[in-house]
Amino acid sequence: MTDSPSLRRQEFVAGMRDTLPLLLGALPFGLIYGAIAATSGLSFAATLAMSAFVFAGSSQFIAVGLVAAQTPVAIIVLTTLIVNLRHMLYSATLLPYLRHLPQRWRIALAFWLTDETFAVTVHRFQRDDASGCKHWYQLGSSVAMYLNWQLWCFVGLLLGNRIPDAQSWGLDVAMPVTFIGMIIPFVRTLPVAISVLTAGAASLLTLNMPYKLGILVAAFAGIASGLTAQRLLRARAERTA
């Protein structure tokens, strides 16, 4: 595998470039988060610290809402943990490509891993070439997402009360649309299509479950249905072989 300073730079820039379309989905999400946080009871510093050290849009939204409702800290931590458990699936997928890296690299990439970065990075890792710097591609994507999120959260926080009832603007629709756009390229086989449809249906059916447990139910339902469909297809192929 090839590894040189110029190749590292190329991979880093490519990661940032390929993530640019997904930054638009995070833009309104960050603005709304900052605006809501400004009126939730969190201090200016605490809001910025959450964006800087938590760096998880869905969890931050949930946490801000729970803080505003004066929810016990233990419930806030548990709820945000459940919401972020999907990152275990991302990590398991990327581990074969990153296990050779030193721990300092893996810790940094794990902290900066987001849905958007996973979506663009997994395609790069699966591409068959001799580059030994593909983790620099993930770093570029991660840095682009991180800086973008900090910027728009900060802008939303500055605007604060100047954005009346930010949640009613409907700007948060950009995030689901972005997720749909990220998923579509992966739907190439029947098992994956079944997995996506099952997870989508399960998420709607479990929408009102407490503490966002529906996310976990939908994820496991999608995985189970996809694996079942794959095994059935393999068994059918073996019978007809």
What pLDDT, in 10s, does the model give residues 162-219?
Answer: 666 655 655 556 667 667 776 777 788 898 899 989 999 998 999 888 766 777 788 8
pTM confidence score: 0.77
Most confident of the ranges 35-39, 53-57, 79-83 = 53-57
Q: What is the DSSP string of 59-101?
A: HHHHHHHHHHTT--HHHHHHHHHHHHTHHHHHHHHHHHHHTTS
- In eight-state DSSP terms, residue 155 is H
**What are 66-84's pLDDT values in tens digits?**
887 787 888 888 878 877 8
Structure tokens that stand for 141 in this block: 């994507």
**What token pair was written down for 58?**
């869905």
Q: What is the pLDDT of residues 104-163, one digit of tens each?
A: 999 999 999 998 899 899 989 988 888 889 999 999 999 999 999 999 999 988 887 666
Q: Count of CB atoms within 10 A of residue 31's CB?
A: 23
Q: How confident is the model at residue 35 (pLDDT cuts 50, 70, 90)?
A: confident
Tokens of residue 104, six digits: 């300092």
Gyration radius from the chain CA atoms: 20
Indicate the range of 79-93, 130-144, 222-236 predicted with least confidence. Answer: 79-93
Tell me the H-state helices in the chain. 5-38, 44-53, 57-68, 73-84, 86-98, 103-111, 115-126, 134-159, 174-183, 190-205, 213-240
The CB-based long-range contact list for 81-85 (8 Å cut-off, 24+ gap) reads 82/211, 82/212, 82/213, 82/215, 82/216, 83/56, 83/58, 83/59, 83/212, 83/215, 84/56, 84/58, 84/59, 85/215, 85/216, 85/219
On whether the CB atoms of residues 191 and 129 are closer than 8 A, the answer is no
Three-state secondary structure call for residue 43:
coil
